[in-house]
Structure 1
Amino acid sequence: MSTELSKQSDILIVGGGTWGCSSALHLARRGYENVTVLDAHPIPSPISAGNDVNKIVEQGSFSDGDDEAAVAQALLLAAGEGWSKDPVFKPFYHDTGYIVAASSPEALKYLEEREIKHHKDAFKKLTTAQDFHATMPAGVLTGEFSGWQGYYKSNGAGWVHARKALVSAYAEAKRLGVKFITGSPEGQVVNLLHAEGDIRGAKTADGKEHIADRTILALGASAPQLLDFENQLRPTAWTLAHIPMTDDEVKVYKDLPVLFNIEKGFFMEPDEDKHELKLCDEHPGYCNWISEPGSSALPQSVPIARHEVPASSERRIRDFLREIMPQLAERPLAHARVCWCADTPNRAFLITYHPKHPSLVVASGDSGHGFMHIPSIGGYIADCMEGKLDARFARSWRWRPETATEFWGDDTLNRWGAGNKMLSLKETETEGWTKING
């Protein structure tokens, strides 16, 4: 039986990334006085998906007339409120507009059904290279855009400076009294503390036991290393790279709309600090499959930290550039890394009390679209902890091992690109990784 909650309860958050910092902020704003966050790295962690120069804030993808649609729409509205009004996050949102496109009839149909259909009046159709070129200043988009079809909206979407927003949430939570214990060994959690069928906190690598009335597991793709998720999570990696830009180019490329081809890749304006342009190739994701010899257990995807990308990823990034900005296609890479998220079989979040551990709140399953919700997701996690999460959200985000009774690691989850199939980091054993100098 879990202890009764009060504002003086000891709340332990395992993980200081996007959802961990958001949870800490919202709990502190609600008056909880004893909130502690543990993370193996200083914040922002070099392996956190939120430690990034930019993320897309886009229109939602949802179907008509069901709870999932209602949850998706409510999430978007709450995130939008946070980005536009919350002083912790507002400075980092750039309402620059959004171009979304596809290169095959199948992907275009999917895009129109899932995204454009619900917002058709807000978008302008793009059918020619000249249409795409005209969305940005002269000389930016110069490619042939062969086979591309797309849509453009000039406002109501754009990008956010992810790292700065994450650090802002951390700083405000700390100002409000949250205790952050970071770095190894003192912040590195080695296991959860089990007692009488419940979870009573966590043990760190320095041997200290952090006892808590409630434990929130918000460790992203690394969460399965501490808890059996019964096959509900698949750590999945995406790839990004930066190329250097000149001071003059940064001025020209400022305030560009996001450009996202759901089969090819995406980019946003250059980073204002280092003057680097971030590029991502689009694909359903990489996994790092590990199987125990002689075991009947399903293989597990285990995250690895690399500030490199597979050679195949660099090829796709350069092919993407040749289609849209060939003048940049041969620039050297200044930075690259794999970025891990945690998928669920239906891409719905997993935010719930654990059915066997009444004091453990699971906050995972971002499914590649978790960061844009940093202004508000911590409020939903706090609602869950307090037992007042909206019933529709509770149903959508419940503990649901019945959805993952078989191996689903090859499921693309309706993502496109790179042959429309899941990728494996095992390919690097033959092709290698892109080496970044400096």
Structure 2
Amino acid sequence: MAQTSNSSILVIGAGTWGCSIALQLARRGYTRITVLDSSPFPSATAAGNDLNKIAEEANEPAETDSDDEYFWNRLTQLAMHAWKHDPLFSSLYHDTGFIMSAVGDEAYQRCVEYAQSEKNAPVPLNSKQDFQKTMPEGVLQGKFPGWRGFWKEESAGWVFASGALRAMYEEAVKLGVHFMAGSPEGSVEELLYTPNKDAVRGARTGDGVEHTAGQTILSAGANSDLLLDFKKQLRPTAWTLAHVPLSAEEAQHYRNLPVLYAVDRGFFIEPDIEKHEMKLCDEHPGYINPVSENDEFCSVPFARQQIPKEAASRMRLFLSETMPQFAHRGFSFARICWDADTVDRIFLIDRHPDLRNLVVAVGGSGNGFMACPAIGVLVADVLEGKSEERLQRMMKWRPEISFERNWWHAQGRYGAEGKVMDFRDVKEWTVGGM
């Protein structure tokens, strides 16, 4: 059903996707948009409230692409056009280059496939010296034991994540979007339904207020699963990050670096210019927090500004092989970061098939932030009934592929022995200080 600018719209979630959705709808002329979130903006637990995220251009989408290829190429095309040309986003994208690498043979094969898929062949890296030449002298002091990879010198890099989140929020507010953030007034306790349960009327917040709207958009990230039965389509999964503090002199020397990403080790991105902190992640298939409710398995997110000690050890290993000068430096910050994996890691953006007036926009599957400028476009198109057919076919509500879901499937990710990990097995937590 096509919407008009007078339609009332309720967006649940003020994270990366929620802000993108609100912004795009406001840009299209919608004037009655309310956004609810349980945390004051910007949420300390939002995945997008971060120093930076990896971004890179892809090949032009083609009719001959497989459905997966077409989805990612088209999505990336939409997102990168905004990162490069939209005045709101363009200053936040840094085209510094991207290195994709690996240590293990299976992980390296993924790098080879990546290189073969690129229209412009990236530079192969097969030795310590090859890696060291990608950055200024003295940055990569490690021995890179067993490392191999490829260097994409341009059309890739990173985006200033928290800056983009704030920019979307501030522009949306200027355009008239009403944000209600914080508990209890923004904390959604439950969806509101019509008496016969065939449509959603809005949501009830922790203060008992009923927020009704003509259309409700559920985009609460990993917490979406707590508000709606997604038929096993979502698996809330967490990853781990830390910040390495640098001196002002070090931060200057480490500017404009290509992102160094190893699919079975981790990655780092150049330090920010304000706090002089360098973001570091260990790469792995993720952690889940299993809970059994009514004999049904689910993973329930929780917030923590610490990481498992084992994750810190993996980060230390990554540093010892690449930048040993920092391998024993204490971390200034660490936290777990949640997203929701779909079975095929394709986003779930669709009208609910059984509940009228409800659109779901979930399932970032570890790729949600780079795509954020495109998310609002995709959701607005769904709302207005004018989605690109091939994209919509990929993003549809699809519980049929989730009935026999293996909750422990690594889904093409490496590192940490290639296994999804259980938070219940974590014995020690740390911020990573030495």
TM-score tier, shorter chain, comes to over 0.9
2:192 is aligned to 193
Give the Cα–Cα distance (whole angstroms) in 2 for the partners of residues 334 and 53 of structure 1: 13
Residues 276-425 of structure 1 mapped to structure 2, 5 A cutoff: 276-292=277-293, 295-297=294-296, 299-425=297-423
What SS class does the counterpart of residue 77 from structure 2 fall into?
A: helix
Give the Cα–Cα distance (whole angstroms) in 2 for the partners of residues 237 and 415 of structure 1: 13
Q: Which consecutive segments of 4 or more residues in structure 1 shift more than 6 A? A: 61-64
Conservation of the 8 A alpha-carbon contact between 1:86 and 1:375: no
What SS class does the counterpart of residue 419 from structure 1 fall into?
A: helix
For residue 308 of structure 1, report the CA deviation from its aligned partner: 0.3
- Asked whether 1:86 is paired with 2:86, we answer yes
Q: For residues 344-378 of structure 1, what are the alpha-carbon distances to aligned partners after superposition, in whole Å with 9 as ceiling and x for unaligned?
A: 00001000000111100000011000100111210
Counterpart amino acid of residue 277 in structure 1: M
For residue 395 of structure 1, report the CA deviation from its aligned partner: 0.8
Conservation of the 8 A alpha-carbon contact between 2:57 and 2:80: no
For residue 111 of structure 1, report the CA deviation from its aligned partner: 2.2
Give the Cα–Cα distance (whole angstroms) in 2 for the partners of residues 120 and 373 of structure 1: 21
Residues 34-433 of structure 1 mapped to structure 2, 5 A cutoff: 34-59=32-57, 65-113=65-113, 115-119=114-118, 121-195=120-194, 196=196, 197-292=198-293, 295-297=294-296, 299-428=297-426, 431-433=427-429
Give the Cα–Cα distance (whole angstroms) in 2 for the partners of residues 31 and 436 of structure 1: 47
Give the Cα–Cα distance (whole angstroms) in 1 for the partners of residues 120 and 45 of structure 2: 39
- Pairwise CA RMSD of aligned residues? 1.5
Q: For residues 180-233 of structure 1, what are the alpha-carbon distances to aligned partners after superposition, in whole Å with 9 as ceiling and x for unaligned?
A: 111111111111101132101011111111110000000000001000000000
For residue 58 of structure 1, report the CA deviation from its aligned partner: 2.7
1:16 is aligned to 14
Unaligned runs of 5+ in 2: none
Conservation of the 8 A alpha-carbon contact between 1:347 and 1:366: yes
For residue 65 of structure 1, report the CA deviation from its aligned partner: 3.0
TM (norm. structure 1) is 0.95
Q: For residues 40-64 of structure 1, what are the alpha-carbon distances to aligned partners after superposition, in whole Å with 9 as ceiling and x for unaligned?
A: 1122111100000000003559997
Q: For residues 70-89 of structure 1, what are the alpha-carbon distances to aligned partners after superposition, in whole Å with 9 as ceiling and x for unaligned?
A: 12111111111000011111
For residue 120 of structure 1, report the CA deviation from its aligned partner: 5.6
Q: For residues 274-329 of structure 1, what are the alpha-carbon distances to aligned partners after superposition, in whole Å with 9 as ceiling and x for unaligned?
A: 1111100000000011113xx432x1110010000001100000000000000100
Give the Cα–Cα distance (whole angstroms) in 1 for the partners of residues 295 and 256 of structure 2: 52
For residue 394 of structure 1, report the CA deviation from its aligned partner: 1.2
Greater mean deviation of Cα atoms: 132-141 or 65-74: 65-74
What SS class does the counterpart of residue 121 from structure 1 fall into?
A: coil
Q: 1:27 aligns with which of 18, 25, 28?
A: 25
What SS class does the counterpart of residue 416 from structure 2 fall into?
A: coil
For residue 21 of structure 1, report the CA deviation from its aligned partner: 0.3
Counterpart amino acid of residue 266 in structure 1: F
Greater mean deviation of Cα atoms: 333-342 or 119-128: 119-128
Give the Cα–Cα distance (whole angstroms) in 1 for the partners of residues 246 and 366 of structure 2: 28
Counterpart amino acid of residue 90 in structure 1: S
Give the Cα–Cα distance (whole angstroms) in 2 for the partners of residues 371 and 387 of structure 1: 24
For residue 5 of structure 1, report the CA deviation from its aligned partner: 2.4
Conservation of the 8 A alpha-carbon contact between 1:25 and 1:169: yes
Q: For residues 14-63 of structure 1, what are the alpha-carbon distances to aligned partners after superposition, in whole Å with 9 as ceiling and x for unaligned?
A: 00001100000100010001011011112211110000000000355999
Counterpart amino acid of residue 215 in structure 1: T
Conservation of the 8 A alpha-carbon contact between 2:111 and 2:149: no
Give the Cα–Cα distance (whole angstroms) in 2 for the partners of residues 240 and 8 of structure 1: 42
Conservation of the 8 A alpha-carbon contact between 1:201 and 1:215: yes
For residue 112 of structure 1, report the CA deviation from its aligned partner: 1.7
Give the Cα–Cα distance (whole angstroms) in 1 for the partners of residues 117 and 385 of structure 2: 32
Give the Cα–Cα distance (whole angstroms) in 2 for the partners of residues 128 and 418 of structure 1: 23
Taking only the aligned residue pairs, the percentage that are identical comes to: 48
